[in-house]
Homo-oligomer: A and B are copies of this chain.
Amino acid sequence: MTDGHAARTARTGRKPTLAVVGATGAVGTVMLEILSQREDVWGEIRLVASPRSAGRKLTVRGEEVEVVALSEEAFEGVDVAMFDVPDEVSARWAPIAAAKGAVAVDNSGAFRMDPDVPLVVPEVNAHAARMRPRGIISNPNCTTLSMIVAMGALHAEFGLSELIVSSYQAASGAGKDGVDTLRAQLAAVVGTELGTQPGDVRRAVGDTTGPFPAPLALNVVPWAGSLKEDGWSSEELKVRNESRKILGLPDLRVTATCVRVPVITTHSLTVHARFENEVTVDQAHEILANAPGVVLFDNPAEGEFPTPADVVGTDPTWVGRVRRSLDDPNALELFVCGDNLRKGAALNTAQIAEVVAAELTAP
């Protein structure tokens, strides 16, 4: 290991110091909840945010902690630094944290496709976290994370050859502004007869589309992220490129169409998954029922299938509607839900940080 504090931490047996950068943001808020709920592997937890938030007090592990301003000094003595900040802030500060001896665990898009930065989902590729020549580990995009644990489990058994996915992405994937926008739009359309004439919802919500390119209340919007080559959205290419990197399958066929839906939190995806080998629903059920981090919830006769309203606030990837494709004995159809702020962001970052903490404190 090349990380500065690692040897010292192992030597002294002390619990490692964690910095949470972006502690006051949407994901940061969920992160403090998660850190309070999980087994406490940390010594000091230092909360870091922009200078304008410095001095605020936030609660973590039942204690008030004062937020300090982002600076080089903030990483003094830090073993692991989580970043829940915009890409450009991570791009600048994660290498600084690494230079100060911390392992940076970054939840932005800044380093995900860097060949010298592992992209880690502990249930799928925890081993990759040890190879971090830049001292940085990336956390995948929330849409990829909402399905990849289940796909990793099926891949281990059947050998994945193709994914064709469509997303049903929640407003909170676009941050607090996304949630506020959806709630304000719902208030504007509730109690009306809107949604039956061309453009009536658009006129009612006016210019208040917030981070979305069209109204989201009483609507679905087939766009997330920025425009890339040949009509693809950045979100769709992230699902493709990140799935390949996490699964270690650089040639995996992956197609995604990303659509925003009027849900507050929890992304859903339909998945057509093709494998090297023939599959059965019974085998898939058994694998999913036993996979860490996955809940199989698949009994339509009893009304059992995952929906965002039931999955939100929980940690696992929920899987239902498992069917074998009628035209292809090697393919499965599935419906998958995952909380985009928990497993899709804060939880996976916390899990990566715990993998690093275990490594640093190993005798």
Residues of B within 8 A of A325 (CB): 255
In the assembled complex, the Cα of A200 lies from the Cα of B263 at a distance in Å of: 13
Mark each residue of chain A from 169 to 198: 1 if its CB lies under 8 Å from any CB of chain B, else 0: 000000000000001001101110011111
Contact present for A230 and B309 (CB under 8 Å)? no
In the assembled complex, the Cα of A305 lies from the Cα of B306 at a distance in Å of: 29
Q: Does A15 contact B (CB under 8 A)?
A: no
Residues of B within 8 A of A321 (CB): 222-223, 231, 257
Most buried by B among A191, A214, A309, A323: A309
Q: How many residues of A contact B (CB 8 A)?
A: 74
Partner of A307, one of B164, B200, B222, B306: B222
Partner of A190, one of B186, B270, B320: B186
Q: Which of A317-348 contact B (CB under 8 A)?
A: 320-328, 331, 333, 335
Contact present for A166 and B270 (CB under 8 Å)? yes
Q: Does A254 contact B (CB under 8 A)?
A: yes
Residues of B within 8 A of A164 (CB): 164, 272
Q: Given A220-B268, A231-B298, A303-B213, are A199 and B166 neighbors across the interface (CB < 8 Å)?
A: no
Residues of B within 8 A of A307 (CB): 214-215, 219-222
**Sample of 17 A–B contacts (CB below 8 Å):** A164-B164, A168-B261, A195-B265, A198-B313, A198-B314, A214-B307, A218-B264, A218-B308, A218-B309, A219-B263, A219-B308, A219-B309, A223-B305, A231-B281, A231-B300, A231-B323, A240-B326
